[in-house]
Structures are given as structure tokens and as C-alpha cells.
Amino acid sequence: MNRAKVSAAVDGWESLFRAQVAVLRRLREQFRGAEVSFGEYDVLYNLSRFPGKRLRLRELNQHILLSQPSLSRLVERMEQRGLVRREPDADDGRGTIVAMTEQGATVQRRVGREHAAAIAHYVGAGLDADELHQLQQLCDKLRFAQAGVPDFERS
């Protein structure tokens, strides 16, 4: 790869990373005092995207920016609050399935409406509809550019 492309890639990454950090800080602030934390909402949102609102813990970890031990502790706390339940994985006796409860689904929908409004405010305020569509296309292209991306990451 030539110097110009390396420099452009680094500059693009820095811009993307700094935009993500800025928006995430604003979105995390929205969750201060909310009925679920940003991390708990992230778990509920990801579960809501899969059939049966359930996913292997190992696969859920691929969608969450937490270490496996941190996610396990978070899921345990969420289970105690009735938002999710853990079940043995019938296909792998060592694995665990995390399933969203009805209470978790209700909370996810309620908090999700507020979160979507905040996303629209912080992301939509700076970009028009065409730019938002282009942003999605570019981010998807970047995410899937590496060989060997598991299918569950493509959803």
C-alpha cells in the first residue's frame, strides 16, 4: 500500500473514531439515571435483533464491546432484575443461551424509543438523509471488508 493511501486510511480512521467517541459520550449521558444502563440496553437491543430474542453468550459477546467476563457479570445482574434469563445450550453443554424476558422486551422497547430519538438528534442533526444513507453504506462496507467475517456479525 502506498504512503498516500496509508495516510488517508489513518486520517479516515481518526475521524471515524473521534466521531464515534463524541456521539457515544453524548448517548451514554442520555442513560444517566435511566432504568437500564447503556450496557444493559446494548444487550437487550442486540437480543431483540435475533430470532426468539436469544443468542449464545459467546455470540452476544461478538456484538458487545465488553470482555467475556464483564458481559457474563452484566448478564447475571440483568437476570437478577428479570430482564434476561440464562439457559443451557442444548447444542453445547458448556455453552449458555441468553434469552430476553417479556419484561426485558418491554424495557427495551420503551428505552429504545428514547434512545432512537437521541440518535436522531446527535447523528441526524449533522447529516442530511442522503449523507445518513451514505454513512450506513460506508460503515457496512468497512465492517465487512475483512475476509472471514462471521455471518452473525453481518446482521
pLDDT tens digits for range 4-63: 999 999 999 999 999 999 999 999 999 998 899 999 999 999 999 999 999 999 999 999
Instruction: Give all domains of the chain, ordered by start, each with its CATH number.
Output: 3-145 (1.10.10.10)
* Overall average pLDDT of the 102-131 stretch: 94
pLDDT of residue 65: 83
**φ/ψ (deg, to 5) at 59:** -75, -40
pLDDT tens digits for range 126-150: 899 999 999 999 998 988 887 555 5
Higher pLDDT among residues 92 and 149, named by residue = 92
Instruction: Locate the DSSP E strands across 6-107.
Output: 54-56, 84-89, 92-100
pTM recorded for the entire structure: 0.83
Element (H, E) at 111: helix 102-122
